[in-house]
Amino acid sequence: MEKNTTGLLIGRYQPFHKGHLFILKESLKVLDKLIIAIGSANIQNDKNPISAKNRQKLIEKVIKNEALQDSIQSIVLLDDFPNNDDKWLEHCLGKINNFDVIVSNDDWVINIFRNAGFNILKIPFYKRNVFKGTLIRKEFNEKKPEWKDKIPNYLINDIKNFL
């Protein structure tokens, strides 16, 4: 990766967990700046229980607590356009245009951006079987205490209020 490189990291962050934090920190080992894009911003349902604004608050808290203010260029909200990948890409590029590489392991995101000519940086997932939003939400809803082990400590109370 060349110097002065900005990456775009897209995720739903439902909720933000230690796996997300790992990818964020690993990305910044090879990138100078990162733009964090919060996907599914226009959807709130069982799969997306935390509003986009509250997910943004969580990420802002992560940036502050991890002292990443100089490394995070911006946080952007991205809407979904079901079954319309072209419209989604157009929406993304209309909101974010100053990045050099996509940071992702999501096949759908990778295919869309690779087909549009963008470079991809794959950061391996960290303990994907443990750090997965679906599992964390399930544990939270079933009142199993282990969900708290998967979230940065400074986010636990916020997530209790948002889920």
Encode pLDDT of 17-26 as tens digits. Answer: 999 999 999 9
Which residue matches tokens 């096949």? 107
Beta-sheet strands, E only, within 63-134: 72-77, 101-103, 119-121
Indicate the pLDDT class of residue 150, thresholds 50, 70 and 90.
very high
**Helix or strand (DSSP H, E) at 37:** strand 33-38
Measured in whole angstroms, the distance separating CA 23 from the mean position of its chain's CA atoms is: 9
The average pLDDT across 51-69 equals: 97
Residue 36 pairs in a beta bridge with: 9, 75
Task: Give the side-chain half-sphere CA count within 13 A for 40.
Answer: 17
Indicate the pLDDT class of residue 33, thresholds 50, 70 and 90.
very high
> Which of 106, 159, 153, 105 lies closest to 137, judged by CA?
159
What is the per-residue burial (b if ≥16 Cβ within 10 Å, else e) of 47-75? ebbbebebbbbbbeebbeebebeebbbeb
- Where do the structural domains in the chain lie, given as residue ranges? 6-162
Task: Give the side-chain half-sphere CA count within 13 A for 91.
Answer: 18
Residue 33 pairs in a beta bridge with: 6
The pLDDT mean for the chain works out to 92
- As a CATH number, domain 6-162 is 3.40.50.620
**Roughly how many angstroms between the first and final C-alpha of the chain, as a whole number?**
38
pLDDT in tens, 2-18: 556 999 999 999 999 99
The average pLDDT across 98-106 equals: 92
* Structure confidence at residue 163 (pLDDT): 81
pLDDT in tens, 108-144: 999 999 999 999 999 887 777 778 888 999 999 999 9
- The reported pTM is 0.92
* Structure confidence at residue 2 (pLDDT): 54
Tell me how far apart the alpha carbons of residues 51 and 40 are, in angstroms, rounded to a whole number: 9
* Structure confidence at residue 3 (pLDDT): 54
